[in-house]
């Protein structure tokens, strides 16, 4: 199959036919998308685990009041932490996606966040979403996902519970008009 254009720095908005799937109702930020596959972080699936729990497990001292929401970033490697952040900083293990979006998986950024000196705008997730070569392209061709170029507003300023509807609104789509019946013109 022919590779679609790279959707790196785009949001994947789950269509209703993914209703029983792990990705039902999700919005995923694509950090990588190439001939080898794709990798992203789900931005609107909160977990019950707390930042306090994570800091305690990793023996990281935490300032009072620092308690960001933890998201289920995807079904792959759910014990691994990923921080999507706007300000670049100087952290280990950082993938620079755009000038305004970076993904870090090292403990130093967690220590900085816990101590109040981390990036100002960020999302903290456990796990990630991954697709093999051509898998995501095929899912898009079969209308499993809508795509939208990511913006700082959607990535960092929209509350996770509002993200699905806000992303659809950017496309001019109201959720009640989405159908689980796929079709091609």
In the chain, domain spans: 10-175
| CB-based contacts of 113, cutoff 8 Å, min separation 6 | 51, 66, 68, 83, 119, 122, 124
Contact of 152 with 99, CB cutoff 8 Å: no
pLDDT of residue 1: 40
Range picked from 18-22, 68-72, 171-175 for highest mean pLDDT: 68-72
Rg (CA), the chain: 17
Please, what is the average pLDDT of the chain? 91
Q: Which CATH number fits domain 10-175: 3.40.50.300, 3.40.1740.10, 3.90.700.10, 2.60.120.10?
A: 3.40.1740.10
Residue 184 has pLDDT above 80, yes or no: no
Per-residue pLDDT tens for 95-114? 999 999 999 999 999 999 99
Strands 70-72 and 122-132: parallel
Region 61-69 average pLDDT? 92
Q: Residue 3's pLDDT is what?
A: 46
Mean pLDDT of 73-84: 96
Q: Is the pLDDT of residue 133 over 60?
A: yes
Range of lowest pLDDT (72-76, 128-132, 139-143, 152-156): 139-143
């Amino acid at each position: 199959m022919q590779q679609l254009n790279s959707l790196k720095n785009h949001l994947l908005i789950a269509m209703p036919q993914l209703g029983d799937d792990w990705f039902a109702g999700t919005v995923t930020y694509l950090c990588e998308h190439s001939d080898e596959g794709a990798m992203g972080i789900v931005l609107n699936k909160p977990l019950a685990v707390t930042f306090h729990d994570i800091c305690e497990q990793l023996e990281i001292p935490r300032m009072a009041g620092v308690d960001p929401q933890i998201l289920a970033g995807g079904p792959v490697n759910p014990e691994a932490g990923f921080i999507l952040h706007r300000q670049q900083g100087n952290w280990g293990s950082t993938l620079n996606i755009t000038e305004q979006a970076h993904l870090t998986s090292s403990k130093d950024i967690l220590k900085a966040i816990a101590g109040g000196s981390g990036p100002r705008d960020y999302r903290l997730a456990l796990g990630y979403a991954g697709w093999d070569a051509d898998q995501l392209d095929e899912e898009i061709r079969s209308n499993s996902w809508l795509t939208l170029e990511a913006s700082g507003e959607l990535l960092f300023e929209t509350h996770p519970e509002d993200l699905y509807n806000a992303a659809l609104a950017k496309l001019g789509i109201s959720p009640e008009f989405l159908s689980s019946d796929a079709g091609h013109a």
